[in-house]
Amino acid sequence: MKDNSYNAVMSRKNEIMKNAIGIDYSTFENDGISFEYERMMRETGYTLEEMQKIQGETGVGNTPIFELRNMTALARKYSEPGKGARIFIKDEGGNPSGSFKARRAANAVYHAKKLGYKGVIAATSGNYGAAVASQAAMQGLKCIIVQETYDSKGMGQPEIVEKARKCEAYGAEVMQLSVGPELFYEFLLLLEETGYFNASLYTPFGIAGVETLGYELSMQMREKYGKDPDVVVCTNAGGGNLTGTARGLIKAGATDTQVVAASVDLSGLHMASDNQFNRKSFTTGHTGFGIPFSTYPDRSDVPRSAARPMRYMDRYVTVTQGEVFYMTEALAQIEGLERGPAGNTALAAAFSIAREMDQDQMIIVQETEYTGAGKHIQPQLSFARDNGIEIFFGNPTDQVPGKNIILPKTPDLIKAIDLDMTKTRKSVVKNAINANQATRASELDIQFLIAETKTDREFVTETLKELGIEF
């Protein structure tokens, strides 16, 4: 009998992960803090053409781009003369499971079947679970979704409960757990007991699946409007959305397009705190995931995450919960498009950024998602009220996450707030050093950190000096 205590299972996690993914991550490791990221992507992922073929066989991809003319007009109303870029969205809600996550899941489930696994498991409270369940149903594989759903009082957020229903509709078994370390433990135990494939969000083939989105977006904009968009805004949580989209843009040759990350500001709330878990109205696309995963991507459920957003990010902005709810309602009422909250995080940011840009420029929100009973605004706001959150109209900059949700009194109060990219990039270096307990950085490490931070040698060496690291 195996020892299935918490400590014993955690001590076996590397072995469990290797068996559940089929990748020996150690082959890509260098001495020190670096590893061969591009070789990992190349040798364990798929080519763009292969990904397009795999996704096409299950109806994933080739989603339309819509120009939001009324939204653009509204932005221009509150802009300086000559300002107010054209706003577009790529409607990923048209994928089989209703979100861009179908692109990641299509590749992961295809890969699982190719390797001979009988089923797949994913640990997620979001749209990815529905995507994996949908693709598993198409490929004839068993599927288990592990969700972090409840606090200790048994209260579950309406959006998470909604997604559980969707997973079950596709025939998946859903295990719902309470907030805390229980999730990863149960996830590892299930992988070991079932022998199923770990359909992680952070594998090379999962991230590579999103490359088709960025590539497709560029090709569609060129075909319809004669050029690439000036700015692409990506809702950022674990980083795979931005990473895959940016890599696809690069493969399309859209190297002048600025890539912006957007997250809901939930600063001050701890995502693993039982009493704070339900004091937020967003389950993804917020700073509780976005900041930690950007500055230390290898905190994921694989030894080396393929989602490394700081390699591709030009700018990182935050918006408030009230601003996203407002834009969700606006999208439905002035554009006739009812979509869920995650993509509308990027839309709120895009509405603000468009007002900084010239009218002949184009900004695109690279994904939308489906909406449903638990994802609508009213269930979210009702749940917030039930948890003692104040809701009122005013200036969103006055919000205190966990205490209130402030809906903007007028659209001009929607303002994306820039994060300090220098500070964020320094955190990437610091976390890489701390994770490896390094006291010295080799030339290979320096080159790795230059790529990880999208900076130059001077920035990395100056940061290493500040940290007291020899090189």
What pLDDT, in 10s, does the model give residues 28-86?
Answer: 999 999 999 999 999 887 899 999 999 999 999 999 999 999 999 999 999 999 999 99
Q: Is it the case that residue 291 has pLDDT exceeding 90? A: yes
Averaged confidence pLDDT in the chain: 95
Alpha-carbon span 378 to 55, nearest angstrom:
34
Distance CA 211, CA 61 (A): 11
Copy the structure tokens of residue 26: 């150690």
**Lowest mean pLDDT segment, chosen from 80-94, 95-109, 276-290, 330-344:** 276-290
pLDDT value at residue 178 = 85
Q: Are 178 and 149 in contact (CB under 8 A)?
A: yes
With a cut of 90, say whether residue 153 has pLDDT above it: no
Going by C-alpha positions, the residue among 128, 99, 70, 162 that lies closest to residue 368 is 99
Query: Can you give the pLDDT at residue 439?
Result: 94
**pLDDT at residue 36, rounded to an integer:** 97
Contact yes or no for 149/156 (Cβ under 8 A): yes
Positive or negative, the CA dihedral 222, 228, 231, 236 is positive
Pairing of strands 86-90, 65-67: antiparallel
Q: What percentage of the chain has pLDDT greater than the value 90?
A: 84
CA distance 218 to 214: 6
Nearest to 262 by CA among 75, 411, 417: 417
Q: Model-level pTM?
A: 0.96
Tell me which residue of 304, 422, 385, 311 sits closest to 33, measured CA to CA: 304
Q: Which residues contact 132 (CB under 8 A, 6 or more apart)?
A: 105, 108, 109, 120, 122, 124, 143, 145, 172, 199
Span 147-164, mean pLDDT?
Answer: 88
Tokens, residue 438: 């390094």
Indicate if the pLDDT at residue 443 is higher than 80. yes
| 55-58 contacts, C-beta under 8 A, 24 or more apart | 55/102, 55/103, 55/106, 55/107, 55/209, 55/212, 58/96, 58/102, 58/106, 58/135, 58/138, 58/139
Residue 432's SS3 state is helix
Classify 98 as helix, strand or coil.
Answer: coil
Is residue 136 predicted with pLDDT exceeding 90? Answer: yes
In the sheet that 142-150 helps form, which strands lie side by side, from edge to edge?
173-178, 142-150, 119-123, 197-198
Question: How many Å is the Cα radius of gyration of the chain?
Answer: 21
Q: 């073929």: which residue's tokens? A: 53
How far is the C-alpha of 366 from the C-alpha of 362, rounded, in Å? 12
Per-residue model confidence (pLDDT) at position 353: 98
At CB < 8 A and 24+ separation, what contacts does 64-67 make? 64/90, 64/91, 64/94, 65/89, 65/90, 65/91, 65/217, 65/220, 65/221, 65/224, 65/364, 66/91, 66/335, 66/337
The whole-number average pLDDT for the span 375-403 is 94
Asked whether residue 1 carries a pLDDT value surpassing 90, the answer given is: no
What average pLDDT does this structure show over 441-461? 98
For residue 19, give the 3-state DSSP assignment: helix
Give 121's pLDDT tier (boundaries 50, 70, 90): very high
Q: Which two tokens stand for residue 27?
A: 């082959």
* Predicted pLDDT of residue 317: 98
Mean pLDDT along residues 363-376: 93
Euclidean distance between the first and final Cα of the chain, in Å?
Answer: 48
